[in-house]
């Protein structure tokens, strides 16, 4: 069995991070200068997975927008000579990322089942959740000698 698709449940309310998550999804909270969800997606793709399904909750369209192309922003950054910012925006644009919405907060198992009942790719998938995110954060901190506080 070849695993080609990762499922990232990101639909939760982020109650542990309130009030920061009141206005933005927890996946967009930055770790240094990169949203946490982007680091998880990059790790999944670097591991050789070809497709990533992010399970969103209602009202989390900002996560979808983060990975979508933004031609107007790219044009403006290019015109201003902001090469590093342009590269960061392009790095975040990921066509491999697909989204499904979990309409009701019924837990992790339900979120994974919502992804499994879509037609978005091979459903032999690992689930990237809190524990794997924590391991990724520790690994990032060790590689960059950065603080995660």
What are 80-110's pLDDT values in tens digits?
A: 999 999 999 999 998 888 888 888 878 777 7
Whether 21 contacts 15, CB under 8 Å: yes
Q: How far apart are CA 24 and CA 17, in angstroms?
A: 10
What length does the chain have? 149
In the chain, the domains with their CATH numbers are: 13-128 (3.90.550.10)
pLDDT digits (tens, 9 = 90+) for 24-76: 898 999 999 899 999 999 988 888 888 888 888 888 899 999 999 999 999 99
Q: Which of 1-15, 69-83, 105-119 has the lowest mean pLDDT?
A: 105-119
Specify the pLDDT at position 124. 47
Specify the pLDDT at position 5. 80
DSSP string, the chain: ----EEEEE--S--GGGTTGGGTS-GGGSEETTEEHHHHHHHHHHHTT--EEEEEEPTT-HHHHHHHS--HHHHHHHHHTT-HHHHHHHHHH--TTEEEEE-SS---HHHHHHHHHTSSSS-----B--HHHHHHHHHHHHHHHT----
């Amino acid at each position: 069995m070849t695993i080609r698709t990762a499922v990232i449940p990101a639909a939760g309310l982020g109650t542990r991070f309130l009030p920061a998550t009141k206005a933005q999804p927890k996946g967009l909270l930055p770790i240094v200068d990169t949203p946490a969800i982007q680091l998880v997606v990059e790790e999944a793709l670097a591991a050789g997975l070809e497709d990533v399904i992010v399970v969103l909750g209602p009202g989390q369209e900002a996560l979808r927008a983060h990975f979508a192309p933004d031609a107007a922003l790219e044009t403006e950054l290019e015109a201003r000579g902001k090469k590093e910012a342009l590269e960061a925006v392009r790095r975040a644009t990921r066509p491999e990322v697909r989204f499904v919405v979990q309409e009701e907060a019924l837990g992790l198992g339900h979120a994974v089942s919502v992804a499994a009942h879509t037609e978005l790719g091979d459903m032999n998938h690992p689930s990237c959740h809190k524990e794997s995110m924590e391991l990724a954060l520790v690994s990032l901190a060790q590689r960059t000698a950065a603080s995660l506080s």
